[in-house]
Amino acid sequence: MQAIIFDLDDTLYDLSRHRAQHLRRAWASWLTGIAVLEADAVITRAVRERIFFADMEQFLVRAGVADATQRSRLVEESRATWFTDLHLDEGVAELLSTLAGSYTLGLITNGPSWTQRAKIEQLHLSQWFPHMLVSGEYGCDKPDGRIFAAMLERLTVDVSAAVMVGDNPDADIRGAHGVGMRAIWIRHSHMVYPDDLAPAWGVVDHVTAIPGVLQLP
């Protein structure tokens, strides 16, 4: 094994937890004025519906924020703090530092450049990843084999010497299998592994457990 390629969202950090914690802070001026159980229900719905900026105002309308000025203020507060609220999961920085000492690391993330590059900068990922591909810049999304092939070319490794690590069975595992690469699945309760997809080379409940799959001390 010479190279490890990582996904970003829900692999290096928990996006649902980030969304919940962020919205509680960004919407605090409204949420602190309503009943605790109602506020908890609002956050639960926002996480389940994966609310982001484009959906936020209509979500707030449905949640009972009738004043347009207040809605705009809540949306702008979220915009201003979404990325600065973002942090790697506990233990991930230490994991990446350890792995970078023995392997070349790559990152492939699906999404538009403006969101994914902001995350990359906030999380200081360039210190561990000399090679990063954002699908919105490259022109195709995982599981398209072209983006995996492009990363392998940048890493200058054969497919047999690399492994993909990600949470999405279709985008990450199926995409890696499509080019003949091994893959480690980060298993989440909200993700169902497809019946037609060959088993991953390794399965863990959190990215910090992958040294066990790699048989590292």
The domain tally of the chain equals: 2
Residue 52 has, within 13 A of its CA and on its CB side, a CA count of: 7
pTM (predicted TM-score): 0.93
65 and 20, same domain (yes or no): yes
* Same structural domain, 61 and 145: no
Return the axis-axis angle of helices 15-26 and 36-48, rounded to nearest 10°: 140
Low-confidence ranges of the chain (pLDDT < 50): none
Residue 191 pLDDT: 87
Domain region containing 71 = 15-81
From CA 200, how far away is CA 167, in angstroms rounded?
Answer: 11
State the sign of the Cα–Cα–Cα–Cα dihedral 127, 131, 137, 139: negative
120 and 173: one domain? yes
Identify whether residues 41 and 101 lie together within a single domain.
no
pLDDT score at 217: 55
Same domain, 177 and 159: yes
Instruction: Give the pLDDT confidence of 12-46 residue by residue, as tens digits.
Output: 999 999 999 999 999 999 999 999 999 999 999 99
